[in-house]
Structure 1
Amino acid sequence: MLLLPSLLLLATSWPVVIADSDSCSSSATISSQSDADTYANCDQIDGSVTISSSASGSIILNNVTEIKGSFTAEGASGLTTLAAPDLETLEGALTVDSMSSLSNLSMNSLSEVSSGITIIANPKLKHLEFEDLEEVDGQLKLTGSFSSVSLPSLDQVKGQTTIRGGRSMSCTALNNLQSEDVYHGGYSCSTSSGSSLSTGAKAGIAIGVIVGVLLILFLMWWVFRQRRVRQKRRRPSQTPASISPPVLKDEKQSTPQYQPIPSSDLSPKVPRKPVGLAPALLDGRSIYEAAYPASPIPVYHELDAGPVFSTHQRPINSES
C-alpha cells in the first residue's frame, strides 16, 4: 500500500525533472523574472543566456554557477537591475550595452571570463564592482559615467583594457595593477575631465616629446645653415676693411709725406716789437755800429795797422 503513493509521486515529478534537464542543456532567452526562475535548478547552462530587449524591472538569475556560452543584455531600456549572484565561470563574452535604465549590475562571484567583457552606454550605472574577477582572456572595456570601478581581485587581462568613467572616478587603484603586470594587451584609464595613463604610457609620451623637440631644433639648424650657404653663393666673400690686419711698413724705406701748410697759418698770431732803423751797409774799410734812436752815435777810427779783418782786433776810440 505504501508503494503506490511513492510511485504516484515519482510519476508526477518525472516530467518536471525532464523539463529542467532540457532547459539547462540549451541556450536561454529571459524576458522576465519568471523566465529566470525556470533555471533555478540548473547549476550549469550549456548554451548562452540572452536578456530580451523587452525585459523590464529586475531580473535575478539564481543558482547558476557556469554558463558555457555568452551572457548578453542589450537594448533593454526598461530593465533596472540585472544580477547573477552565483555565476562563477563564463566561457563566452559578457556584454551589457545600451541599457538606459540599468542602475544595478551585480555579478560578485564571477571569477573567470574566457572571452571579453564589454559594458558600455549605460548612463545610470554609476558603480561597477567585480569582487572575485581574476582572469579575462579577451578585452576588458568599461565605459560610461561611472563614479567608481572596483576590480580588487583582478590578476590577468590578456586583451586590451580600456576604462573610462565620470569626473569623480579615480584611476589610482586601477593604475596600480599596471605595476603588477596585470594588463597584458595595453591599458588606459580616463575620466570625462582628463586621463590617467599608466607609467609606461607616460614615459612613452615624455620620450616622444623629447624626440619631437630635438627634431624641431635640428630642422631649424638645417634651414638656417642652408640660408647662409645661399647667401654666400650670391655674393663673393670679402674681408671687411674694418677688420683687415694692419700692414707693417719699413721705417727706413718709407718716405715721409708732408702736407702743405695753408698760408693763413703763417701769419703771426702775436705782433712783433718794432725794431730800429736798418744798419748802414759797410764799405769794406769803416765799421759802424747800428744806431738806435735817442742814443749818441759813437765815432770810431781805424788803427794805423790797417782795417779790422778779424774779431780779435778792436778799434780804438779817438778823443774829441
Structure 2
Amino acid sequence: MRNGKAFLFAGILTAAASVSPTLAQLDEEPPSCDDSLISIATKEQVDFYSTCPRIERAVSFSVSHNFKGPFEVPNVTYISGRFNSGYFGPKYSFSNRIDDGVTSISMPDLEELGGWLLLGYLPELKSAEFPKLHTIGIDLAIIGISELKRIEFPSLENITAGALIKGDFDEIRLPKLKNVRFLEISSTGNLDCRALGKNLSSLAFHPESDADLGKGFTCWTFDENNRYNSTEENPPSGTNPDANP
C-alpha cells in the first residue's frame, strides 16, 4: 500500500475508536474549553463550546454518534486536534453500531484544524460547511455519504498530508487549495473530473517519497472518458463533453 495513503488510513482508522461520548465524559465533570476529548451529543454542549474561540488542548473534537439533526458550532476559530463525525468504514450486517443522525454540519468560523478532518458513513448528512477553514494539519477524508452531493471548502489552502474524497458527488470546489500530499477523488455522481482537474492544475504536491503512488491528483468516475490523473504525461483538460449537466 502506498505510503501516504497508508498513513491516512492508519491514522483515521484510529479516529473511529475515538468518537465515543463515553471516552469524552468518563469523569462526568462540567465541560471546559480545555477538554482533551470532546464529543458533542446535546444542544447544551453545542451552546457551551460555542463560547470557546480557541480549543487549544483537544485531541479530538467530534460529533457524537448520538447527535441528531443539524450541528452548528459558531465562534470556534481553532481546534488543536482532529474533527470527527461518523466512521471510516461501512456498517456490516452483523454490526450493532449506532447509525449517526446528524443532518448537516457547520463550523462557520473555524479557520485552522491541527489534526485531520473525517466525515464518514453518515446516512442522514446532506451538507457540510467549513467556509473559513484554511489549514488542515493532517489528512482530509470524506467518504461513504450518499446524501452529500456537493463539497466546497472556499478558503482551504493547505492540507499537510493527503486527501481522500469518495461518494456520490456532483460538485467539488476547492478554489484556493495550494498544497497537499496527494488528492484522490472517486465519484458515482455527475462530477466532471476533467473540469476539476483543470481547476486544480496549479496544485503543489509533496509526496513522502518518489515511490509514493499517491502523489498527484486522481479523479475517477464510471465513465472512462471522464477521469483525470495529474501524473500522466498529458492529462486531459477541459470539460468532459459527455458529462451530465
One-letter amino acid matched to 1:162 = E
Larger radius of gyration: 1
Q: How far is 1:186 from its partner? A: 2.1
One-letter amino acid matched to 2:118 = T
Structure 1 residues 61 and 192: CA distance shift in structure 2, 3 A = farther
CA distance in 2, matches of 1:52, 1:179: 37
Structure 1 residues 31 and 151: CA distance shift in structure 2, 3 A = same
Contact conserved, 2:175 with 2:199, CA < 8 A, in 1?
Answer: no
Structure 1 residues 199 and 121: CA distance shift in structure 2, 3 A = closer
Give the match for residue 107 of structure 1: 130
Using the size of structure 1 for normalisation, the TM-score is: 0.54
Q: How far is 1:172 from its partner? A: 3.2
Using the size of structure 2 for normalisation, the TM-score is: 0.69
Sequence identity percentage: 28
CA distance in 1, matches of 2:203, 2:69: 40
CA distance in 1, matches of 2:203, 2:184: 15
**Cα deviation digits, residues 44-100 of structure 1 (max 9, x gap):** 112020111111111101100000000001155211111101000000000011101
Give the match for residue 168 of structure 2: 145
Mind listing any 5+ residue stretches in structure 2 that lack a counterpart? 1-28, 88-98, 207-214, 236-245
One-letter amino acid matched to 2:78 = E
Q: Which of the two has greater helix per residue?
A: 1
Contact conserved, 1:167 with 1:193, CA < 8 A, in 2?
Answer: no
Contact conserved, 2:216 with 2:229, CA < 8 A, in 1?
Answer: no
Aligned-CA RMSD value? 2.1
Residues 32-71 of structure 1: pairs in structure 2 closer than 5 A: 32-46=42-56, 47=58, 48-71=60-83
Instruction: Determine whether 1:182 maps to 2:204.
Output: yes
Instruction: Determine whether 1:72 maps to 2:103.
Output: no
Mind listing any 5+ residue stretches in structure 1 that lack a counterpart? 1-18, 205-320
Contact conserved, 2:218 with 2:230, CA < 8 A, in 1?
Answer: no
Q: How far is 1:177 from its partner? A: 5.0
CA distance in 1, matches of 2:115, 2:231: 31
1:31 to 30, 38, 41: 41
Give the match for residue 201 of structure 1: 232
Structure 1 residues 40 and 199: CA distance shift in structure 2, 3 A = closer
